[in-house]
Amino acid sequence: MTNEVEFSSLTKDDAKITFEDPSHISKPSDEEIAQHRKTRLALVVVFAAIVIVMVVAAVIIIIVAPKCDKKEEVPEEKKSDETLKNETLKQDEWLKHGIIYQVYPRSFKDSSGDGNGDLKGILNKMDYFTELGVQAVWLNPIYDMKNYTVIDSMFGTMEDFDKFIKEAHEKGIKVIMGFVPNHSSNEHPWFLKSKKDDKNSYRDYYIWKGGPAKNETPNNWISVFGGSAWTFDNATKQFYLHQFSKEQPDLNLRNEKVKKELQDVLKFWLAKGVDGFNFDAVQFLIENENFGDETPNSNYNASDLKYDMLKHTLTFDLDASRALVKEFQDFLNKQNGSLPILFTEVEGPYDKTSKYYEVSDIPFNFGLITKLNEQGMTLAQRINKTVMEYLASIPKGKIPNWVTGHDDHERVGNRVGKEKRHAMNVLALTLPGMVSTYYGEEIGMLNGKTTNPDDPMESARTPMQWNAEESAGFSTDKPWLEVGSDYKSINVATEKTDKDSIYSKYKELVGLRRNASALVEGVLKEVHTDLEVFSFIRSHENQHFLIIINFGDKSWNGDLDKISGRGMVVFDTESNMVGQEVDVNKIKLNSGQAVVLKNGKNKWHLQ
Q: What letter represents residue 457's amino acid?
A: M
Number of H helices, E strands in the chain: 19, 23
Inter-helix orientation angle 158-170/256-272, to 10°:
60
| Rounded CA separation 540/430 (Å) | 13
Nearest to residue 440, comparing CAs of 477, 481, 400, 386? 481
> Which one of the listed residues 250, 345, 347, 572 is annotated catalytic?
345
Q: What letter represents residue 444's amino acid?
A: G
| Rounded CA separation 392/363 (Å) | 15
Q: Does an H or E element contain 502, and which?
A: helix 502-514
| Rounded CA separation 269/260 (Å) | 15
Q: DSSP character for 587?
A: -
C-alpha of 200 from chain center: 37
Cβ contacts of residue 167 below 8 Å, gap of 6+? Answer: 123, 126
Cβ–Cβ under 8 Å, residues 470 and 504: no
| Catalytic site includes residue 280 | yes
Q: Does an H or E element contain 350, and which?
A: helix 350-353
| Rounded CA separation 89/68 (Å) | 24
Q: DSSP character for 399?
A: P
Distances (CA, A) of 492 to 32, 114, 468: 107, 22, 9
> Which one of the listed residues 152, 280, 347, 572 is annotated catalytic?
280
| Rounded CA separation 242/338 (Å) | 35
Cβ–Cβ under 8 Å, residues 248 and 242: yes
| Catalytic site includes residue 361 | no
| Rounded CA separation 472/456 (Å) | 22
Query: Catalytic positions, please?
Result: 280, 345
